[in-house]
Amino acid sequence: MQCEPESVSPVESHLAYWSHYVGYRLFHELRRRTWKFGVTAAESVFLRKLLEHEQGAMPSLLALRLGLSRGYVSRLAMRLEIKGLLNRTKTLSDRRALLLRLSGAGRALVASLATAADKANARNFRGGGVAWREAIERVERVMKWIVRRDRFRFVPPAQCQIMPEISYLDFDWDPDGGGYA
């Protein structure tokens, strides 16, 4: 049974549409910025999370913390190992289990990737005053509430941060990318 055309709501009336629309474009900007360093946006997020684990981390833990499947984490780790940015070693206690660690090159790259992500964050989320900050905090609370309500794997405890010392004047126009560099 088909719905009458006048009874179908427009796609723009759904928050899921807007969440995807904005999220896709924000991640695209991150992708453009990280590509300059030879990694994808997903790889940059993965490397930054791995930096939090000085002694290394098992792929299953990283999958849980990032909300990714174990298979996807394995593919990311394999690509990053080929690029020389991480090392995969078998654990001593269980030779079947892998431990992922940043290589020296990976550790050195993370600071540049974090700066690129901070600039993207500041460009997209810095706004006018207290009301803007409260709106951003409200959106963050709602997103985390959805994660908890739907029992997603993990809710990051840290609050989103917008780097206040970065201003719009810090960005160079990138004519090839069609936006700010």
User: Which CATH architecture describes the domain 13-126?
Assistant: Orthogonal Bundle (1.10)
pTM metric for this prediction: 0.74
- Beta bridge partners of residue 100, listed in sequence order: 57, 88
For 101-126, write each residue's pLDDT tens digit: 999 999 999 999 999 998 888 888 77
For the chain, give the percent of residues with pLDDT over 90.
38
In angstroms, rounded to a whole number, what is the distance separating the alpha carbons of residues 47 and 114? 10
* HEC sequence for 49-77: HHHCCCCCECHHHHHHHHCCCHHHHHHHH
In angstroms, rounded to a whole number, what is the distance separating the alpha carbons of residues 40 and 47? 11
Q: Which of 84 and 161 is assigned the larger pLDDT?
A: 84
Q: Using the 8-state DSSP alphabet, how is residue 91 labeled?
A: -
CA distances from 93 to 8, 31, 90, 96, 97 (A): 58, 37, 9, 9, 8
Which has the closest alpha carbon to 166: 135, 130, 108, 120? 120
For 35-68, write each residue's pLDDT tens digit: 999 999 999 999 999 999 988 999 999 998 888 8
Largest CA distance in the chain: 64
CA distances from 60 to 64, 66, 70, 73, 151 (A): 6, 10, 6, 8, 18
The whole-chain average pLDDT of the chain stands at 82
